[in-house]
Amino acid sequence: MIVTKFTEAFGVEHPIVCGGMTGVGRAELIAAVANAGALGFLSALSYPTPAALDEAIRQTRGLTDRVFGVNLTMLPTINPVPYDEYVQVIADNKISIVETAGSNPAPFMPTFKAAGIKVVHKTVAVRHSLTAQRIGVDALSVDGFECAGHPGEEDIPSLVLIPAVAAKVDLPIIASGGFATGSGLAAALALGADAINMGTRFVASLEAPVHVNVKNQIVANTERDTKLVFRKFSNTARVAKNAVSERIIEIEKQDGTTFADIAALASGARGREQVLAQGDVDGGLWWAGQSQGLITNIASCQEIVSTIVAEAEEIIRGRLTSVIA
């Protein structure tokens, strides 16, 4: 067993996290992650209303008696999101851990702290990590440039970003971006992290509530099969390489392009419906990290977690020790 500041602080058996994934982080996946001894975050915005999130929390608790958290991602949206109401649902349900992402969570920190909720905040730079520590979060999920989703605009990979943050903060660090194997977990610990966050690896799990075509595509893809979209609008996002992401990049290259020119292609609803639900992997944008080049099978969450931990333990006890003269 690998014991770290993360496992001790958050009461989790293994130093592995499934961070929030809109459209994917639903009850059946998060309960499976928890039952495997890792920490999963139910994605609040996978549910269209706070009442629906309330029901999802109850559903998850019906599937596991282990700790799990809720992710609240705060980003600009076309339609206003009642974040205050989602926060209240989280507090009322006595959720013990929240993962925040996007905007600064400072406005909600008093509510979280009053409810005894520990906060993990996602950051993509050293300066963001220092700000998060200053406002009182309990841990950081640090996203390297390899990650799916929004890696920021500075293009710093995990190999550099994780130790750079670890040298500046005192909080437990969850390394995110490029992790899908036991060697990745061992490497993250060596870099100063206390756990790893995996998104793409858990999408390719038996329990992930997405079409099997998506899972098969992740296994078939290599590390080269992602694209960076929205760079022109300073909102870079790493997504799977497909017809839609390549078309968006073509449009972005044109002079005078505005987000309105790609809005229909970039629609989150389109990606969730046509790709995740219906299995048309070219039907819309969908998130995938470069770690898909390391994923060779679709497996249960239990198998994923136990295999990664066993591989990491073998590397730490064997390979790394053997190279010391």
Report the candidate in 69, 37, 10, 68 with the shortest Cα–Cα distance to residue 308.
37
User: How far apart are alpha carbons 56 and 89 in whole angstroms?
Assistant: 11
Domains of the chain are 5-209+297-322 (3.20.20.70), 226-287 (no CATH)
What is the pairing mode between strands 195-197 and 16-18?
Answer: parallel
Query: What pairs with residue 173 in β-bridges?
Result: 140
Q: What's the pLDDT score for residue 76?
A: 67
Q: Is the pLDDT of residue 163 over 70?
A: yes
What pLDDT sits at residue 156? 96
Q: At residue 323, does pLDDT exceed 60?
A: no
Do the Cβ atoms of 205 and 298 come closer than 8 Å?
yes
Two structure tokens written together for 108: 């909600």
- Cα 32 from chain centroid? 16
Give percent of the chain with pLDDT exceeding 70.
97
Reported confidence tier of residue 242, pLDDT bands at 50, 70, 90? very high
Dihedrals φ, ψ of 305, to 5°?
A: -65, -50
3-state DSSP call for residue 227? Answer: strand
pLDDT category, 322, cuts 50, 70, 90? low
pLDDT in tens, 111-161: 999 999 999 999 999 999 999 999 999 999 999 999 999 999 999 999 999
pLDDT of residue 325: 58
Tens of pLDDT, residues 293-311: 999 999 999 999 999 999 9
> What's the token pair of residue 290?
């470069």
Asked if residue 231 lies in contact with residue 245, where contact means CB atoms within 8 angstroms, the answer is no
pLDDT number for residue 75: 78
Q: Which residue has the tokens 């989280």?
A: 90
Q: Residue 218 in contact with residue 210, Cβ under 8 Å? A: no
Q: What is the DSSP letter of 108?
A: G
